[in-house]
Amino acid sequence: MNHKCIIICESIYNDNTLKIAKAMAQKLGCYCITADEALILNLDDHQTIGLGSGIYFGKHHPKLFEVVEKLNSSEQEVFIFSTRGNPFLGKYHQPLNDALVEKNKKIIGEFSVRGYDETGPWVIIGGGHKGKPDEKDLKKAVRFAQKTMPQHCMPDYYLQVQSKLPISEGEPNSYVIGTNGSSLLLKGDRVTFNHSNCNGCGNCVKVCPLGIIQIEGKKAISKRELDCTLCQLCVVNCKQRAITLHYNWRDAIKVAQRHGKRTSLY
Ligand SMILES: Cc1cc2nc3c(=O)[nH]c(=O)nc-3n(C[C@H](O)[C@H](O)[C@H](O)COP(=O)(O)O)c2cc1C
């Protein structure tokens, strides 16, 4: 887990902004928390803070302003993000921007995309920007995080695998990747464990709601990675930043199909 960075998100309408926040948090390997949670935390230890919400009546959620109010004057970098109904961002970020400048915070970047909106005039046509933010928007959010905060981003070595094997039930596929003269071992395709980083602490085993992770030879693996619901709990709770998830929209649909008839966790 990357403790240098934290994302604070208020997403009260359709979870539109939460989707963006989670995509960024996954890339940065950091926690994504609500403003209420942030208000009881000491945020001084975090070098970089992300603040995001939907746009409600022309600005960010009021609780984010409470969080900014609570920040002390230590040197911290902040990035701002939002989802909105209006096709144009305009000056929606300005109030939060101003509040941060007043607190002497350095704003390192801003990100905004459209989110599904059924308020005001959109109601006439049954809602605007259906399906937004979509997969492309999430990729844009990840690229934003990568470009703005390369120092915090978790390298995804699985992307370097040249020829990937089909995923099946049981023993996960293994890949050896060469990086700067050394090599590292990756296990799994949907849920990939970097065995060079994993210390077998078992945090991922404890948090996985479906119990699909196990420790074998002091390293974590999943022999049921096709059952993964992509909830991200293992990723955000891995202090070693050893887990990455890989999926596209087809995989997400397959997850729903796979668990379609399920009525309880156990
Ligand atoms: C009460 C309310 C007020 C809103 N005001 C605006 C607005 O002023 N400008 C805008 O572009 N979108 C506005 N929207 C649309 C939201 O910004 C948009 O749907 C956003 O994606 C919601 O994010 P969330 O699902 O994370 O809460 C408003 C939505 C609600 C519910």
- Average pLDDT of the segment spanning 90-98: 97
Residue 1 pLDDT: 67
Residue 97 pLDDT: 97
Q: Tens of pLDDT along 114-129?
A: 999 888 777 777 777 8
Q: What is the mean pLDDT of the chain?
A: 91
> Measured between alpha carbons, how far is 28 from 22 in angstroms, rounded to an integer?
10
Question: How many other CB atoms are found less than 10 A from the CB of residue 229?
Answer: 16
Residue 109 pLDDT: 97
Q: For residues 204 and 232, is the Cβ–Cβ distance under 8 A?
A: no
Residue 54 pLDDT: 97
| CATH architecture classification, 5-152 | 3-Layer(aba) Sandwich (3.40)
> Measured between alpha carbons, how far is 200 from 223 in angstroms, rounded to an integer?
16
Residue 130 pLDDT: 83
Residue 248, C-beta contacts closer than 8 angstroms, at least 6 positions apart: 135
Question: How many other CB atoms are found less than 10 A from the CB of residue 46?
Answer: 23
Q: Where in the chain is the domain with CATH 3.40.50.360?
A: 5-152
Q: Which residues line ligand 1 (CB under 6 A)?
A: 11-18, 54-58, 83-86, 115-117, 119
Element holding 247 (H helix, E strand):
none
Query: Which residue has a Cα nearest atom 8 of ligand 1?
Result: 57
Residue 152 pLDDT: 86
**Any idea which residue has 């230590």 for tokens?**
74
CA of 101 to the centre of ligand 1 (A): 24
Residue 142 pLDDT: 92
Indicate the fold that domain 157-258 takes in CATH.
Alpha-Beta Plaits (3.30.70)
Q: Tens of pLDDT along 169-199?
A: 899 999 999 877 789 999 999 999 999 999 9
- Average pLDDT of the segment spanning 84-109: 95
Residue 128 pLDDT: 78
Residue 146 pLDDT: 92
Q: Where in the chain is the domain with CATH 3.30.70.20?
A: 157-258
pLDDT surpassing 80 at residue 3:
no
